[in-house]
């Protein structure tokens, strides 16, 4: 079998990002969450890819992002894996960037920028709360040795790089979109629940019902009637007493922001729903002391 020829992606073509969270995101929603976080900061190309690692000690997802169209490639920081111990944390410092490995896994990559080389170890240990075992300063000669050694051993490794551009649904969300909401959806719901709603005082109306009433009053003039099947989702959410903060409809997709003070309740509610729901993000809002989940539902299915 012929040996694969890898192209090394130069550090200058690689960007790094940190995404802070309050706790680790579940696997089911993680990639959508990371893609959305990246798309809010960069322009996405058809060959965009990313790699991530979660650092528990700092509650952050460390991401590297790059564009590459060749079949076999490796971002430059990964070549140092051949220099790492099995159970050690190894820091490599080049003239332009530094990268940290934990047990042969790349956990952190950053441009040096304004950080002095002698301060990098302290910077990592204080910011990420990671105790480093070994530090290697890499000059040009050492770099070439490491690169050649890695290229001779590439068949040993397999790395998980994710395509960033999964589909077009990630570009739907916009604060200033012109929205069309279906009058049938809300009028049917109101009709079914008329006896419960008409005599209730405002302070007695559950949070989710307040959300429906507000949305219905805004979009009651709409004549769009193509999402009848989505009615069941609102009944489902209502049964969990989850508040719908925002809702809009565009190009066959319902874009919804759910709100609750219990993060696990939001995730479990969506996880148990029978139809596919795309979770864009879940964030804690300090001003309201509640979690907000941004989701999308294909209303045409």
pLDDT at 294 over 70: yes
Contacts of 181 (CB under 8 A, 6+ apart): 215, 218, 219, 222, 224, 247, 248, 249
More confident residue, 220 or 14: 14
Least confident of 20-24, 127-131, 209-213, 284-288: 209-213
More confident residue, 283 or 190: 283
What domain range is 264 assigned to? 170-298
Q: Do 17 and 160 have their domain in common?
A: yes
Residue 283 CA to residue 24 CA, distance in Å, equals 12
User: Does any domain span residue 291?
Assistant: yes
* pLDDT confidence tier of residue 132, bands split at 50, 70 and 90: very high
pLDDT of 197 reads 39
Helical (H) or strand (E) element with 195: helix 194-197
Q: Do 110 and 209 have their domain in common?
A: no
User: Does any domain span residue 257?
Assistant: yes
Q: How many CB atoms lie within 10 A of CB 54?
A: 15
Q: Which two three-digit tokens encode residue 78?
A: 């990964």
User: Does any domain span residue 250?
Assistant: yes
**Across all residues in the chain, what is the average pLDDT?**
76
pLDDT of 166 reads 60
More confident residue, 56 or 190: 56
Least confident of 74-78, 119-123, 220-224: 220-224
Q: Do 58 and 198 have their domain in common?
A: no
Bridge partners of 294, per DSSP, are 257, 281
The answer to whether the pTM exceeds 0.75 is: no
More confident residue, 17 or 175: 17
More confident residue, 197 or 253: 253
Q: Which of 67-71, 108-112, 273-277 has the highest mean pLDDT?
A: 108-112
Q: Which two three-digit tokens encode residue 144?
A: 């070439």
Question: What would the mean pLDDT of 224-237 be, rounded to a whole number?
Answer: 60
Q: Do 41 and 72 have their domain in common?
A: yes
C-alpha closest to that of 15 among 77, 65, 62: 65
User: Does any domain span residue 140?
Assistant: yes
Q: Do 220 and 98 have their domain in common?
A: no
Question: How many percent of the chain have pLDDT more than 70?
Answer: 73
Q: Do 16 and 67 have their domain in common?
A: yes
User: Does any domain span residue 25?
Assistant: yes
pLDDT of 252 reads 67
* pLDDT confidence tier of residue 44, bands split at 50, 70 and 90: confident
User: Does any domain span residue 2?
Assistant: no
52 SS3 class: strand
pLDDT at 153 over 60: yes
User: Does any domain span residue 1?
Assistant: no
- Decide which of 166, 181, 198 is a domain's last residue: 166
Q: Do 40 and 162 have their domain in common?
A: yes
C-alpha closest to that of 244 among 234, 254, 259: 259
Q: Do 20 and 155 have their domain in common?
A: yes
pLDDT of 51 reads 93
Q: Do 63 and 134 have their domain in common?
A: yes
More confident residue, 196 or 80: 80
- Decide which of 139, 166, 193 is a domain's last residue: 166
**CA-based angle 88:59:46, to the nearest 5?**
90
User: Does any domain span residue 108?
Assistant: yes
* pLDDT confidence tier of residue 34, bands split at 50, 70 and 90: confident
* pLDDT confidence tier of residue 277, bands split at 50, 70 and 90: confident
Least confident of 33-47, 83-97, 108-122: 33-47
Q: Do 42 and 148 have their domain in common?
A: yes
Q: Do 97 and 195 have their domain in common?
A: no
The total number of structural domains that make up the chain: 2
Q: Do 121 and 177 have their domain in common?
A: no
- Decide which of 166, 181, 209 is a domain's last residue: 166
More confident residue, 40 or 301: 40
């Amino acid at each position: 079998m012929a040996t694969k020829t890898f192209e090394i992606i130069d550090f200058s073509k690689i960007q790094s990002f940190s995404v802070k969270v309050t706790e680790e995101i579940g696997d089911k929603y993680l990639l959508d969450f990371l893609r959305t976080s990246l798309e809010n900061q960069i322009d996405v190309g058809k060959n965009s890819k990313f790699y991530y690692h979660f650092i528990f000690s700092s509650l952050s997802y460390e991401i590297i992002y790059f564009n590459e169209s060749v079949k076999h490639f490796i971002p430059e920081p990964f070549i140092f894996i051949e220099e790492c111990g099995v159970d050690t944390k190894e820091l490599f410092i080049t003239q332009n960037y530094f990268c940290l490995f934990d047990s042969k896994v790349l956990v952190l990559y950053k441009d040096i920028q304004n950080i002095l080389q002698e301060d990098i170890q302290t910077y990592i240990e204080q910011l990420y709360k990671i105790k480093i075992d070994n530090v290697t300063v890499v000059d040009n000669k050492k770099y070439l040795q490491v690169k050649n050694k890695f290229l001779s051993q590439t068949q040993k490794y397999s790395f998980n790089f994710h395509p960033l551009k999964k589909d077009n649904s990630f570009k739907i969300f916009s604060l200033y979109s012109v929205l069309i909401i279906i009058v049938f959806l809300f009028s049917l719901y109101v009709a079914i629940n008329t006896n419960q709603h008409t005599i209730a005082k405002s302070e007695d109306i559950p949070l989710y019902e307040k959300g429906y009433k507000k949305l219905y009053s805004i979009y009651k003039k709409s004549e769009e009637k193509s999402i009848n099947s989505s009615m069941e989702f609102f009944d489902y959410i209502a049964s969990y007493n989850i508040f719908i903060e925002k809702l809009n409809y565009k190009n066959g997709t319902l874009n919804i922001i759910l709100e609750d003070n219990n993060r696990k309740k939001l995730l479990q509610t969506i996880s148990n729903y029978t139809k596919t729901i795309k979770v864009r993000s879940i964030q804690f809002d300090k001003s309201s002391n509640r979690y907000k989940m941004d989701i999308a539902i294909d209303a045409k299915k």
